[in-house]
């Protein structure tokens, strides 16, 4: 680990003094989710009229940002984001925010190799510990790389973050330039969407494919959480966890004794993750719990690392799939919704794992402007981003069944995916597949 050296011993200053260090044209970095600063953010917003063209990188904002709320016309601050939350999406819709394309596991390398040094990094951290470190809490991701490439590091110290174990989980006081007092408010929670009947129908099919000793990566959403709920009811045991995001569903499995990590090759006995966002229960479970292992995202998300565990099971959502198997999981046309995240990397890592499986789940339909539409389509919505290529997709699951696309020809894929569509759309999809020669006439597949 490369150690940054501050120019002088860390000094404690006020939030107003910290905000005064920002100059027009600077690049700032607020890190991500529950590590985004709050006290500094409010103080910087107060200074808005003396600043222009200040660009701020961040990820998955879990609460409104003062620099955006108090600069509604975007004259002073611009927000750039590695993965959208609902709030970031709202800012994008208003022309205040832009997305940064990525594979999430590569972001530390982007900072180290391709991005100019960041002028000021501002992180919310736990108080200084007995070893001289400010623990990041359960947001590791690319924070070490970010600190290495920072011209100035400011920590906003709070009692509101859980202190976590893992690799490269903090910044040493010798690397810090300034310390400011935080508000000690509890970490923001991320509500868990309740599972509906379709979520449970999809989850039942996936849960039947999970065996003792499987190593789980589970994304966020009603369907993945429903899988966790069904696994609680099953007899499956000795599960492992090597995931990007630690979610409440995995905490429930851990508390029930279903997750032991005893059969993992990598980090045996540990639940490995790179960030966490969820309920108060989740944060309390992670706090000073040595069973959990918080690591940089290039450790959790790179396929060559994921595959080191056997029987990796990756479970993720998508919002649209075409008849050849391309997944559009992050946009609605040119409107950006979320982000690429680690979906493609976990799909590849699970496939490369001995006995591994990757599942992509979706409801067959959705409602838009008062009408029902199919998520399985002949052509992706114009402008939609392909998150995972057709060649990578393995299992696809809707409430109407499950298919494995590996090794299937284009006609076989089209037939298989049409079988997963809502019955009201199957005839139209088949007609389109014939007209565009995805399914040749006169042959049975």
CA torsion 403-409-414-415 (nearest 10°) is -70
**What does the H/E/C string look like for 232-287?**
HHCCCCCEEEECCEECHHHHHHHHCCCECCCCCCCCCCCEEECEECCCHHHHHHHC
Q: Which residues contact 351 (CB under 8 A, 6 or more apart)?
A: 358, 392, 394, 406
What is the helix (H) or strand (E) element at residue 29, kind and residue range? Answer: strand 27-32
DSSP letter for 104, please: G
For 33, the token pair is 């989710």
- List the structure tokens of 312: 């990796």
User: DSSP string of 349-369?
Assistant: HHHHSTT-EEEEE--SEEEET
Q: Catalytic residue positions? A: 244
| Whole-number Å distance between alpha carbons of 393 and 213 | 23
Q: Enumerate the β-bridge partners of residue 54.
A: 77
CA distances from 182 to 41, 57, 258 (A): 11, 20, 37
Contacts 24+ apart (CB under 8 A), 6-11: 6/153, 6/174, 6/175, 6/176, 6/177, 7/177, 8/177, 9/174, 10/173, 10/174, 10/176, 10/177, 10/178, 10/179, 11/177, 11/178, 11/179
Other Cβ atoms less than 10 A from the Cβ of 346: the count is: 30
Distance CA 417, CA 358 (A): 16
Q: Are 224 and 317 in contact (CB under 8 A)?
A: yes
Token readout for 43 is 């103080």
Q: What angle, rounded to 10 degrees, do the helices at 423-435 and 410-420 form? A: 160
Question: How far is 269 from 295, CA to CA, in rounded Å?
Answer: 15
For residue 24, the cross-strand partners are none
Rounded Cα distance, 183 and 185, in Å: 5
């Amino acid at each position: 680990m490369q150690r940054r050296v501050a120019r002088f011993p860390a000094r404690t200053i006020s939030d107003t003094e910290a905000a005064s260090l920002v100059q027009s044209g600077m690049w700032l970095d607020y890190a991500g989710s529950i590590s985004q600063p709050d006290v500094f953010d409010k103080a910087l917003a107060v200074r808005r009229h003396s600043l222009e063209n200040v660009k701020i990188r961040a990820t998955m904002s879990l609460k409104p940002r003062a620099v955006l709320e108090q600069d509604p016309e975007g004259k002073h601050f611009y927000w750039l984001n590695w993965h959208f939350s609902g709030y970031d999406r709202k800012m994008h819709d208003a022309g205040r925010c832009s997305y940064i394309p990525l594979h999430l596991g590569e972001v530390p390398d982007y900072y180290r190799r391709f991005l100019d040094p960041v002028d000021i990094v501002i992180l919310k951290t736990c108080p200084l510990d007995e070893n001289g470190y400010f623990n990041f809490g359960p947001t590791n991701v690319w924070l070490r790389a970010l600190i290495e490439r920072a011209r100035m590091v400011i920590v906003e110290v709070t009692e509101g973050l859980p202190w976590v174990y893992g690799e490269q989980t903090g910044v040493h006081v010798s690397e810090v330039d300034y310390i400011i007092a935080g508000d000690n408010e509890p970490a923001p929670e991320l509500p868990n969407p309740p599972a509906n009947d379709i979520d449970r129908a999809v989850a039942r099919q996936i849960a039947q494919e999970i065996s003792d000793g499987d190593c789980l990566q589970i994304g966020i959403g009603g369907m993945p959480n429903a899988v966790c709920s069904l696994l609680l009811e099953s007899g499956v045991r000795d599960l492992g966890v090597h995931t990007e995001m630690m979610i409440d569903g995995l905490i429930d499995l851990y508390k029930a004794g279903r997750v032991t990590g005893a059969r993992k090759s990598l980090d045996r006995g540990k639940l490995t993750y790179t960030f966490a966002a969820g309920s108060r229960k989740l944060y309390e479970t992670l706090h000073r719990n040595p069973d959990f292992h918080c690591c940089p995202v290039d450790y959790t998300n790179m396929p060559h690392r994921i595959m080191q565990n056997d029987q990796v099971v990756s479970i993720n959502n998508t919002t649209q799939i075409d008849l050849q198997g391309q997944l559009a999981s992050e946009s609605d046309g040119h409107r950006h919704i979320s982000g690429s995240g680690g979906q493609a990397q976990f799909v590849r890592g699970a496939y490369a794992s001995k006995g591994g499986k990757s599942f992509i789940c979706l409801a067959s339909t959705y409602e838009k402007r008062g009408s029902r539409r199919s998520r399985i389509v002949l052509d992706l919505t114009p402008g939609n981003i392909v998150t995972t290529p057709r060649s990578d997709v393995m299992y696809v699951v809707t409430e109407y069944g499950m298919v494995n696309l590996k090794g299937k020809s284009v006609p076989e894929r089209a037939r298989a995916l049409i079988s997963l569509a809502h019955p009201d759309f199957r005839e139209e999809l088949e007609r389109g597949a014939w007209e565009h020669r995805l399914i040749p006439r006169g042959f049975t597949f």
